[in-house]
Structures are given as structure tokens and as C-alpha cells.
A and B are shown apart, each in its own frame.
Chain A
Amino acid sequence: TQLLEQSPQFLSIQEGENLTVYCNSSSVFSSLQWYRQEPGEGPVLLVTVVTGGEVKKLKRLTFQFGDARKDSSLHITAAQPGDTGLYLCAGAHGGATNKLIFGTGTLLAVQP
């Protein structure tokens, strides 16, 4: 059972456009992380959000954790070809471990 659904699954946009990726769940997570994975590589952590309603900015990327800690979004402003990759959200439940539940993924292609 996939606990974290991402939408859209695929996104192909032109350089300079804005986009938003959504990560939704029926479960509450104690924290949520966003990763980007490029072909032939492992995922690389972009951000961790831990508080409901939290907003974090990383240059042109804005991450939000839902108030109820069941959903999150990633907004990219003025996308660049270097943003191309697979974006994954990953949630952690309570407890001390670092076990993550990964989302279904959003494959983003930014055309120059």
C-alpha cells in the first residue's frame, strides 16, 4: 500500500515556468523530506520540514508542510534545465528511527 501519493506523476515544462508538486497522505507524519534523484544516482536530500504549516525556501524552491502534517508541496519558481529530475517526498512516522515512507515520485523535465 502506497501511503504517499504525489501529483503530477510527470511534468514537462519550458524554462522559466513555475510549477507545483503535491504530496498527499491519509496518514500523519512527524516530519517530511523532499529529495531529488537524477538518472543513475541516488536521491539527494533537499529539505526536511517538521512543523505543521512550516514553509522553507531554498533559492527558487519553496516547500510547505500541511497544517495537519498529512500533505506537503514543492513549488519551483522560474524552472531551469538543471531542475530536471525525479522529485520524491518521504515521510517519517513517530519514533526514533530514520525509516522513511517514500512517495510515488514526480518526474520533471525542464526544456531549454
Chain B
Amino acid sequence: KAGVTQTPRYLIKTRGQQVTLSCSPISGHRSVSWYQQTPGQGLQFLFEYFSETQRNKGNFPGRFSGRQFSNSRSEMNVSTLELGDSALYLCASSLLGQRNEKLFFGSGTQLSVL
């Protein structure tokens, strides 16, 4: 069974640009969550999607958005990039997104903003 796939693995952008990251969950998983990981702040929850609906949102500005498609694949978008957006963006999938369900993480997309 294929794991969670995130593309691309690495991205370099400049301030002011926008970026779209992609996540393909494990087959059959309907919940996709996104996390940002930085050395200073650690792992922080961005948002969670289930059946194409955003079900939960973390404390990030509106420049961070996401969506989920009918096949459960998800994308997240960051507009007007800032230097502080440089981070590892991790996607995690689970069957139904219920508490205590096992989360399966992808390898992440490393975003560098110059």
C-alpha cells in the first residue's frame, strides 16, 4: 500500500510569490491534515479536510489556504510569501480524522523563501 505522497519535495521561492503544495493520502483515507514544522516553533497545525470540507483550522493567517478534491487529494496554497514561511510542510492522512486515529505523515515539502 503506497504511503502519503507529497510533491514537490523541495521548493525555492522569493518573497511575494505564491506556492501550491500537493498531498496524496493513503488510498481509502478521507481525512488530510497539514502541519508546518520550523526549528523555532516546531510542528503546528494548519488545517484539516474531510470529504472536501475544511473541518478544523489552526492559528495561521488567511494567506494559508487549502482544499480537498473528491479523490481526497489535497492542496495547500500560500500567497504573498514571507521569509518566515520557510519551513517543512507536512501532510498527514487518516481514515476518518477521528481522535486517536493513527496519522500517517508524508515526507514533507521543504519550502525556502528567499
- In the complex, what's the smallest C-beta–C-beta distance from A90 to chain B, in angstroms? 8
8 Å CB interface, B41-73 against A: 41-45, 48, 55-56, 58
- Does chain B have a CB within 8 A of A55? no
Given contacts A2-B41, A96-B99, A102-B42, 16 further A-B contacts (CB under 8 A): A2-B42, A41-B105, A41-B107, A42-B92, A42-B106, A45-B102, A95-B99, A97-B56, A97-B99, A98-B33, A98-B98, A99-B33, A99-B58, A102-B43, A104-B42, A105-B42
Cβ of B74 within 8 Å of any chain A Cβ, yes or no, is no
Question: Number of B interface residues, CB 8 Å?
Answer: 28
Fill in one digit per residue for A72-109: 1 if any B CB lies within 8 Å of its CB, else 0.
Answer: 00000000000000001010100111111111110000
User: In the complex, which of the residues A30, A50, A98, A103 contacts B101, with contact meaning CB atoms closer than 8 Å?
Assistant: A98
B1-25 interface mask toward A, CB cutoff 8 Å, 1 = contact, 0 = none? 0001000000000000000000000
* Dominant secondary structure at the A interface: loop
Minimum CB–CB distance from B61 to chain A (whole Å) comes to 17
What is the CA–CA distance of A99 and B59 in the complex, to the nearest angstrom? 12
By a CB distance below 8 angstroms, the chain B residues around A31 are: 99-100
The distance in angstroms between the C-alpha atoms of A50 and B99, with both chains bound, is 11
> B residues engaging A (CB < 8 A)?
4, 31, 33, 35, 41-45, 48, 55-56, 58, 90, 92, 94, 97-108
> 8 Å CB contacts to B: which residues of A20-58?
30-31, 40-45, 48, 50
Mark A residues whose CB is within 8 Å of B. 2, 30-31, 40-45, 48, 50, 88, 90, 92, 95-105
List residues of chain B with CB within 8 A of the CB of A42. Answer: 4, 90, 92, 105-108
Contacts of B90 in A (CB 8 A): 42-43
Provided the pairs A42-B4, A42-B92, A104-B42 are in contact, do residues A98 and B107 lie with their beta carbons within 8 angstroms?
A: no
B98 and A100 form a contact (CB under 8 A): no
- Provided the pairs A44-B105, A99-B33, A103-B42 are in contact, do residues A92 and B48 lie with their beta carbons within 8 angstroms? no
Closest to B39 in A: A105
Contact status A99-B108, CB under 8 Å = no
| A88-B99 in contact (CB<8A) | no
